[in-house]
Amino acid sequence: MHPTDELLETLAADSRVGAQNLLDWYQRRQATAEAEALDLQYRSRYEHELWPKFPHIAGIDEVGRGPLAGPVVTCAVILRHDCQLPVNDSKQLTRHEREHLYPLIVSQALAVSIGVADNHMIDRENIYHATELAMGDAVAHLRVTPDFLLVDAMHVPSAVPQRKLIHGDANSISIGAASIVAKVVRDR
């Protein structure tokens, strides 16, 4: 429920501490919502630029290239054009925030797919190439065929046109969503 302008003016004119605290709380909440909307608009700029020509954009990211043990998990996500989820680089979010966003991403996305490079593949191929192959596997198993790939700082072995974005997980909602899903899957 949004207060009317008349109610906000009445609160502003009311000198009682409780009224002023309520008005202050509402204004802070509105400022936070506006900042989140601007942030979402900024992080979806690549998708908005590409959607008219490429309606199914897959964001692709990986987790696990840094640790000494465990698999590399990659994820490809195709989001709906009306996605309003506050996704960001999974490293910028708390575990609780990632766990909260994970089911929302999976249920609201057009398609989500996982690729895994285990220790055997990493030993055989090297970490970088194994990650590329796992990304390619994630793209190949999407239930919706992507028209374009936005990839976090790597190249995916795929015939689908693609753009490599440095810090893509913080600059693209699609890559950010993939980052979150990959991180949650690997952590579990």
pLDDT at 88: 76
pLDDT at 37: 79
- Are the C-beta atoms of 58 and 158 separated by less than 8 Å? no
Q: Are strands 162-165 and 148-152 parallel, antiparallel or unpaired?
A: parallel
Q: Give Cα separations from 53 to 102, 112, 148, 151, 155 (angstroms).
A: 28, 21, 9, 18, 21
pLDDT at 121: 92
| pTM of the entire predicted model | 0.86
Closest CA to 167 of 86, 53, 33, 46: 46
- Are the C-beta atoms of 174 and 150 separated by less than 8 Å? yes
Long-range CB contacts (< 8 A, 24+ apart) of 122-131? 122/71, 122/72, 127/65, 127/72, 128/65, 128/154, 130/72, 131/62, 131/65, 131/72, 131/74
pLDDT at 32: 80
pLDDT at 158: 95
- What is the CB neighbour count within 10 angstroms for residue 55? 14
H helix or E strand, kind and range, residue 74: strand 72-78
- The DSSP output letter for 126 is -
pLDDT at 65: 81
Q: Cα separation of 162 and 76, whole Å?
A: 13
pLDDT per residue as tens, the chain (188 positions):
788 889 888 888 988 999 899 888 988 988 888 887 788 888 899 999 999 999 999 999 999 887 666 799 999 999 999 998 888 777 888 899 999 999 999 999 999 999 999 999 998 999 999 999 999 999 999 999 999 999 999 999 999 999 999 998 889 999 999 999 999 999 98
